[in-house]
Amino acid sequence: MVEKISLAHGDGGELAHQLIQNVFITTFGHHDQAKLDAAILHIPQEKLTISTDSFVIKPTFFRGGNIGKLAICGTVNDLAVSGATPLYITVAFIIEEGFSIPQLQKIVSSMAEEAKKANVRIVSGDTKVVERGSVDGIFINTTGIGVINTEEMLPKTIDKQDVIIISGTIGDHGISILSARGELGLVTELNSDCASLNDLTSEVLNVSSRVKMMRDPTRGGVATTLVEICEDFNVTIEINEDALPVKEEVEGACDILGFDPLYLANEGKLLLIVAKEDEEKVLAVLKKFDIGREATTIGRVSEVETNGRLFLKMLLGSRRRLNRLAGMQLPRIC
């Protein structure tokens, strides 16, 4: 095992997977539960679910949001994709000495606004300040609690021919953040897609009992999220290159910079696995929302088999195996 933490350990890719397996799961003695973003709390009478996330995004402010809005959306989404209704959220700040209080106020206001929009209540908080140079600006942890209706508990069994749906264009957040950093000479008008997804998830679960799984493909992108599903649930998935919704600006930036939209982070996109017979119903519901207008089917489950794999069907008919994100792509993307 490597002895030093590298940036890739936090990137949602292969090394992060190893770190979690080797250090955390082994030590804490967890199994299935620790694999999920949201953990179910077994409390009499109610199924609660809890999820924690720290946000270290750079820069703190970006087109379409800031670290505060992101911290609320991120945790709301982790709960929502497990099928839960988010209820409460805790917030903990680590702030660098010298940080601007007006900027902090803006961040906190965004959090309050987004919490209201997502109908979650902020409860319990903590603030630590560290000396200049000991943290880069501001980092925020949010932990959310939701209640879950046992009938809606996901994942359900995934079957051959189930379809893979995405609620909109992919890679917007990743390219928007790259652009905000101004590091690569990239300038775009692109907004991050940062948004709370709980209205979408609850509406979708209302109309369909055949949603098998939902995820929000953040760090590591759509490809890494699907590879994890293939491995954990023993299915092989094929996605179609020509079906992937990608904004022109994202495609252009990827061409120039050598990124693949399938591996770029999203912060307001819902990825669903749904039984074929409910495909149209689910798409219709998603399209009712502003943030779901471009929802589309991007692939299907081609086999149920151990050693499940993810394939990309290319325009010209060949297929290419996709793996988990390897090594560092974009540190501090969330």
12-31 residues near a second copy, rule: CB under 8 A: 16, 19-20, 23-24, 27-30
Q: Are 162 and 274 in contact (CB under 8 A)?
A: yes
Number of C-alpha atoms within 13 angstroms, CB side, residue 303? 9
Q: Does 326 bind a second copy (CB under 8 A)?
A: no
Residue 290's CB is within 10 A of a number of other CB atoms, namely 8
Both tokens assigned to 76 = 């709301």
Residue 245's CB is within 10 A of a number of other CB atoms, namely 17
Nearest distance from residue 328's CB to a second copy, in Å? Answer: 9
How large is the C-alpha radius of gyration of the chain? 19
Positions 74 through 93 that interact with a second copy (CB under 8 A): 87-88, 90-93
Instruction: Pick from 38, 235, 273, 282 the residue near a second copy by CB under 8 A.
Output: 38
DSSP 37: S
46 vs 303 by CB, closer to a second copy: 46
Nearest distance from residue 322's CB to a second copy, in Å? Answer: 23
Measure CA 211 to chain center. Answer: 18
Positions 117 through 156 that interact with a second copy (CB under 8 A): 122-131, 133-136, 139, 141, 143, 145, 147
Measure CA 265 to chain center. Answer: 7
Q: Are 324 and 10 in contact (CB under 8 A)?
A: no
52 vs 191 by CB, closer to a second copy: 52
What is the total count of residues that contact a second copy (CB under 8 A)? Answer: 83
Positions 254 through 283 that interact with a second copy (CB under 8 A): none
Q: Does 45 bind a second copy (CB under 8 A)?
A: yes
Q: Which stretch binds a second copy (CB under 8 A): 55-63, 157-165, 233-241, 254-262?
A: 55-63
Q: Mention every residue, 6+ apart, whose C-beta is less than 8 A from residue 316.
A: none
Q: Are 275 and 159 in contact (CB under 8 A)?
A: yes
Nearest distance from residue 91's CB to a second copy, in Å? Answer: 7
Nearest distance from residue 49's CB to a second copy, in Å? Answer: 9
89 vs 226 by CB, closer to a second copy: 89
Q: Does 46 bind a second copy (CB under 8 A)?
A: yes
39 vs 304 by CB, closer to a second copy: 39
Q: Does 32 bind a second copy (CB under 8 A)?
A: no
Q: Parallel, antiparallel, or unpaired: how do β-strands 271-274 and 163-166 relate? A: antiparallel
Positions 159 through 218 that interact with a second copy (CB under 8 A): none
53 vs 279 by CB, closer to a second copy: 53
Residue 55's CB is within 10 A of a number of other CB atoms, namely 21
Nearest distance from residue 34's CB to a second copy, in Å? Answer: 7
Length of the chain: 334
Both tokens assigned to 44 = 């009499």
